A and B are shown apart, each in its own frame.
Chain A
Amino acid sequence: MAHLLEIVGINKSFGATQVLKTCTLAVDPSETLVVIGPSGSGKSTLLRCVNLLETVDSGDIFFAGENITRARRTAHLLRRQIGMVFQNFELFAHLSAAENVMLAPVKILGMSRADAHDIAVDLLRKVQIPEKADAFPDELSGGQQQRVAIARALAMRPKLMLYDEPTSALDPEMIREVLDVMAALSAEGMTSIVVTHEMGFAKRAADRIVFMESGEIIESAPSDQFFGGTVNDRARRFLDQILH
């Protein structure tokens, strides 16, 4: 099966600090990849390189068979096919939940407001908050905001979803509702890359676990194998730390 995303030997530095060191990774359609590792290990940067929010210094990135690494001028077209969810939700503060979901389809795909509204209602139902369609971001809890943010990304019918620590800014009681939505999407076959510290989610929803440290991909293994014990020493130490 052809890879949906293939990252080949990418390097990225910010000033003198090299944050990604020859990272290589492939993601197949319908696969859910969970990226774990200590803070500062380059997980978020890796994610941001995938949709060209950061440009790599060297190496190649292929999406749906196409080399997108240096497609800076058409980056916006690529990003329409890749949804992204952020740690701090980043819902547009001046728009209601439904309008947040509708904005991109209406303004950049030229969809009619009525059609976009139908899609928004469907997606808000899918993320379990149809009743909040008219609420503004500051009237929603963190968990609700993050679910709207997922709906907003889904409105563009992405082929790939990127989650950048989606539950790190949430109160503990709200983490579950967001992870449930993500797990349901993965189960439906949405190809996803998830940067998270939620090991429960990794065990439940991931097909494969990628462990990063100091900008390197140390380990990339099927989920059961990774948690089954045959892991690399550094990954084992990290797991011991975060599982207390």
Chain B
Amino acid sequence: MSIELVLKYLTSPNFLRGAEMTLLLTIASLIFGVLIGLALALIQESQTRIGTVVTLTYLWLFRGTPVLFQIIFIYNVLPSFGIRLSAFVCAVLALSLNEGAYMAEILRSGLQAVKKGQRTAGLALGMTRTEMMRYVVIPQAARIVLPPIGNQMIGMLKLSALVSVIAVEELLLVANQTASADFRYFEALTAAGIYYLAMTTAFMGLQILLETVLDPKKRQRMRRLSLTERMLGTSKALAVR
């Protein structure tokens, strides 16, 4: 094994572009996945018959088939209906649709964890249903769903490697191509592995940060500090409680 070669791969433009692509795929799919999931969860929350049928069918389809199947299906079948999308768009589409199904269940559990009495209290104050969801239910649900969403974030990063089958130049494909060109599997895959670990570490850090931001007590402590600072005109004030 050659450490120099690992370092060379790590700093090579190809690997960097591959890692960028992986990150982009992951973030885009997560954002769309959360949006789809939120829509599905809210539809289920409304408890209409048609809404339940739509969401259950969606979950049945996208949780019931392999992601790899969905990626290949979208990439190869859509063109025969005259829909021509780039490999990248197909990849994001497949990953988002799949992620949406899992996110829907996570978000639904979060919404359900906020007790009925909290909703009634919001309504009794004169909120519309939308205001009640926005100001009472969702802020509390967000805190509850954060740990499982952290799981999904990291899962998505690894899932994104699957789109190498439709020739999206993400990290694993780059590593594999480099390895087979140079016959240096160990070094190329080690470099890719380091990139993956670095990104998952960053995601874990992000999760911890979000948990702090969404925890009202920790947030208040931070805010109180900055308010005190402003009033005293100093930044030396310590948050002592």
> What separation, in Å, do the CA atoms of A51 and B126 have in the docked complex?
10
Task: Give the residues in chain B near A108, CB-CB below 8 Å.
Answer: 125-127, 131
> What separation, in Å, do the CA atoms of A80 and B127 have in the docked complex?
8
Task: Give the residues in chain B near A86, CB-CB below 8 Å.
Answer: 117, 120-121, 124
* A77 interfacial contact with B, CB 8 Å: yes
Give chain B interface residues in 94-135, CB to chain A under 8 Å: 117-118, 120-128, 131, 135
* B136 interfacial contact with A, CB 8 Å: yes
> What separation, in Å, do the CA atoms of A51 and B121 have in the docked complex?
12
> What separation, in Å, do the CA atoms of A65 and B123 have in the docked complex?
23
> What separation, in Å, do the CA atoms of A93 and B117 have in the docked complex?
11
* B139 interfacial contact with A, CB 8 Å: yes
Q: Mark A81-96, 1 if CB is under 8 A from B, else 0.
A: 1111010101111111
Residue A107 contacts which of B135, B140, B216, B217 (CB distance < 8 angstroms)?
A: B135
Residue of B nearest to A107 (CB): B135
Q: Mark B54-76, 1 if CB is under 8 A from A, else 0.
A: 00000000000000000000000
> What separation, in Å, do the CA atoms of A83 and B124 have in the docked complex?
7
* B220 interfacial contact with A, CB 8 Å: yes
Asked whether A80 lies within 8 Å of B126 as measured between CB atoms, the reply is yes
Asked whether A96 lies within 8 Å of B216 as measured between CB atoms, the reply is yes
> What separation, in Å, do the CA atoms of A153 and B131 have in the docked complex?
17
* B143 interfacial contact with A, CB 8 Å: yes
Do A76 and B220 form a contact, CB below 8 Å, given A86-B121, A107-B131?
no
> What separation, in Å, do the CA atoms of A78 and B136 have in the docked complex?
19
Asked whether B125 lies within 8 Å of A152 as measured between CB atoms, the reply is yes
Task: Give the residues in chain B near A104, CB-CB below 8 Å.
Answer: 125-127
* A53 interfacial contact with B, CB 8 Å: yes
Residue B126 contacts which of A76, A94, A96, A149 (CB distance < 8 angstroms)?
A: A76
Asked whether A79 lies within 8 Å of B216 as measured between CB atoms, the reply is no
Asked whether B118 lies within 8 Å of A93 as measured between CB atoms, the reply is yes
Asked whether B120 lies within 8 Å of A76 as measured between CB atoms, the reply is no
Task: Give the residues in chain A near B117, CB-CB below 8 Å.
Answer: 86, 88, 90
Residue of A nearest to B219 (CB): A94
> What separation, in Å, do the CA atoms of A86 and B143 have in the docked complex?
25
Do A96 and B121 form a contact, CB below 8 Å, given A79-B126, A80-B126?
no
> What separation, in Å, do the CA atoms of A222 and B147 have in the docked complex?
57
> What separation, in Å, do the CA atoms of A79 and B117 have in the docked complex?
16
* A156 interfacial contact with B, CB 8 Å: yes
Min CB distance, B53 to chain A, in Å? 25
> What separation, in Å, do the CA atoms of A96 and B122 have in the docked complex?
15
Asked whether B123 lies within 8 Å of A79 as measured between CB atoms, the reply is yes
Task: Give the residues in chain B near A81, CB-CB below 8 Å.
Answer: 126
Give chain B interface residues in 140-172, CB to chain A under 8 Å: 140, 143
17 A-B pairs whose Cβ atoms sit less than 8 Å apart in the complex = A53-B123, A76-B127, A78-B126, A81-B126, A82-B124, A84-B121, A88-B117, A90-B118, A90-B120, A90-B121, A92-B140, A94-B216, A95-B216, A104-B126, A108-B127, A153-B125, A156-B125
4 nearest A-B residue pairs (beta carbon): A80-B126, A90-B121, A84-B124, A104-B125
Interface positions of B (Cβ within 8 A of A): 117-118, 120-128, 131, 135-136, 139-140, 143, 216-217, 220, 224
Interface positions of A (Cβ within 8 A of B): 51, 53, 76-84, 86, 88, 90-96, 103-104, 107-108, 134, 136, 149, 152-153, 156
